[in-house]
């Protein structure tokens, strides 16, 4: 274990900044291609809109991956904000709502990392991040998009959000980060080297 001083742990190297922004932008581009995923569950959502919550966790991936890789305050929220800004700039359907969502989703994931003082990159932390992001996003959607939905349906939607946040953001995000580490692309980052360690040895 290498020792690092407090400032080294929070000071952003240029590569940290570029990687946070790059992860956000890359997902912004990939998201444009993900619309196809919604057609997979199309029949379900046409009859029961809240089922879209099943895919909600995918949108928080930039935050959890950036947080797992860079492990510095602001990485998760920064990446999510870039992805949301990109979506908004390219004419996404929710306009400024997208940026509010980005801040809340990134903020939820950020909160999970902050609770460990940015020291841990484990599955439980990633899952907690996904769950917190899902909760905040649900509050926002309930307020801004679905205020007239009955409470019963809203609670079902919350359930979908939480499951999706835990699995598609938390577990999948952690697995994706590990797959990235195995490619060597995360070698400039301590987190990447730790995650790759098991695979390399």
Q: Which residues bind other proteins (CB under 8 A)?
A: 4, 8, 12-15, 17-30, 32-34, 36-37, 39-40, 49-50, 65, 74, 78, 82, 85-86, 88-97, 144-151, 153, 176, 179-180, 182-188, 190, 192-193, 196, 199-200
Q: Least distance from C-beta 117 to other proteins, angstroms? A: 19
| Nearest to other proteins of 65, 136 (CB atom) | 65
Q: What span, in angstroms and rounded, lies between the C-alpha atoms of 37 and 55?
A: 8
Among 93, 102, 95, 91, which residue's Cα sits nearest to residue 60? Answer: 102
Q: Least distance from C-beta 191 to other proteins, angstroms? A: 12
| Nearest to other proteins of 32, 44 (CB atom) | 32
Go through 147-171 and write b for each residue having 16 or more CB atoms within 10 A of its CB, e for each that does not: eebeeeebebbbebbbbbbbebbbb
Which H/E stretch holds residue 123?
Answer: helix 123-144
| Nearest to other proteins of 4, 122 (CB atom) | 4
| Nearest to other proteins of 21, 171 (CB atom) | 21
Q: What span, in angstroms and rounded, lies between the C-alpha atoms of 145 and 79?
A: 24
């Amino acid at each position: 274990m290498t020792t690092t001083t407090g400032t080294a742990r929070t000071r952003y190297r240029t590569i940290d900044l570029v990687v946070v922004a790059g992860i956000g932008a890359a997902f912004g581009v990939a998201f444009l291609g993900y619309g196809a995923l919604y057609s997979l569950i199309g029949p379900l959502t046409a009859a029961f809109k809240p089922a879209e919550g099943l895919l909600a966790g995918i949108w928080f991936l930039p935050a959890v991956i950036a947080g797992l890789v860079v492990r510095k305050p602001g990485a998760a929220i920064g990446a999510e904000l870039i992805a949301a800004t990109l979506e908004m700039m390219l004419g996404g359907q929710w306009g400024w709502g997208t940026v509010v969502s980005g801040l809340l989703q990134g903020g939820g994931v950020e909160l999970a990392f902050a609770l460990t003082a940015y020291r841990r990159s484990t599955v439980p932390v990633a899952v907690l991040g996904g769950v917190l992001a899902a909760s905040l996003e649900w509050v926002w959607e309930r307020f801004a998009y679905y205020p007239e939905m009955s409470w019963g349906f809203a609670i079902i939607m919350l359930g979908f959000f939480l499951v999706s946040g835990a699995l598609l953001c938390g577990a999948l995000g952690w697995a994706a980060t590990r797959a990235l580490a195995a490619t060597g692309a995360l070698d400039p980052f301590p987190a990447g080297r730790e995650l790759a360690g098991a695979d390399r040895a």
